[in-house]
Structure 1
Amino acid sequence: METNETKTLEHLRKLTALHFQTLKPANDKSKAYIAQIKFVNYYDLGCVITDMLKLCILALDEETHKFSEKNKNESINVSLILETVLHLFPMDEFEFLSDVSEMVGGDS
């Protein structure tokens, strides 16, 4: 039985190495993890940050802040926000969990 458990543990380690890509351990001694999002350049990063802030402001007080009336370029790029959120979903980890579920004997 011990051999089977060793094989199972080794298989889990391989699956973990293959699928757990979204969170990387921080380089300090904390138990924190870092999620990385890729951007084309600093301007792209700036656009995402400002659009997120605008969206939050509008969600809090729609009447006070009318960005789109001032300048058409200041409208919120909802598509960009949704794309960023989509990149935050840890699909590799979800796939790993499915693999583990199959390995241990069932899809519950």
Structure 2
Amino acid sequence: METNETKNLNRLKELTALYFTTLKPAEDNSQKQIAQIKVLNYFELGCLITDLLKLCILALEHDMHNVEKKRSDSINVGLVLETVLSIFPLDEMEFLGFAGEIVRE
């Protein structure tokens, strides 16, 4: 008969396999993890990177008037937010909820 601790450990291992999906182990067997950002093509990747840089510049300068009003220089906040949302570890957060329930049992 399994002890409660063994059952909990096995359940946590199952949940980890199901929900820890945002980070993948690096192929070089190091302790590093990889989070992937999915983009349509190099152009979208370039737009994302430049928008992130522009957003950082604005945050550092605290002055919106220094950024040109041209459409090509505007920040695509939607793309930045979509990217952040795509790498947000929601599955892992769900796992933490389950782990909390197991601990409280």
TM category, shorter:
0.7 to 0.9
Residues 24, 33 of structure 1: 8 Å contact kept:
yes
Q: Distance in 1 between matches of 2:60 and 2:4?
A: 56
Indicate whether 1:19 and 2:16 are aligned.
no
Q: Distance in 2 between matches of 1:79 and 1:22?
A: 21
Q: How many equivalent residue pairs?
A: 104
Deviation readout 1:82-105 (Å, 9 max, x if unpaired) = 111122211100000100111121
TM-score of the superposition, structure 1-length normalised?
0.82
Identity %: 59
TM-score of the superposition, structure 2-length normalised?
0.84
Counterpart code for 1:27: E
Structure 2 residue runs of 5 or longer lacking an equivalent are: none
Q: Could you tell me how far 1:66 is from its partner in structure 2?
A: 2.2
Counterpart code for 1:66: V
> Which residue pairs with 2:87 in the alignment?
88
Runs of 4+ in 1 over 6 A off after TM superposition: none
Measured on the aligned residues, the alpha-carbon RMSD in Å equals 2.0
> Which residue pairs with 2:67 in the alignment?
66
Q: Could you tell me how far 1:4 is from its partner in structure 2?
A: 3.2
Q: Distance in 1 between matches of 2:103 and 2:79?
A: 39
Q: Distance in 1 between matches of 2:97 and 2:64?
A: 45
Q: Distance in 1 between matches of 2:51 and 2:8?
A: 46
Q: Distance in 1 between matches of 2:28 and 2:65?
A: 43
Counterpart code for 2:94: E
Structure 1 residue runs of 5 or longer lacking an equivalent are: none
Q: Distance in 2 between matches of 1:45 and 1:63?
A: 24
> Which residue pairs with 1:55 in the alignment?
55
Q: Distance in 2 between matches of 1:27 and 1:35?
A: 13
Q: Distance in 2 between matches of 1:99 and 1:63?
A: 43
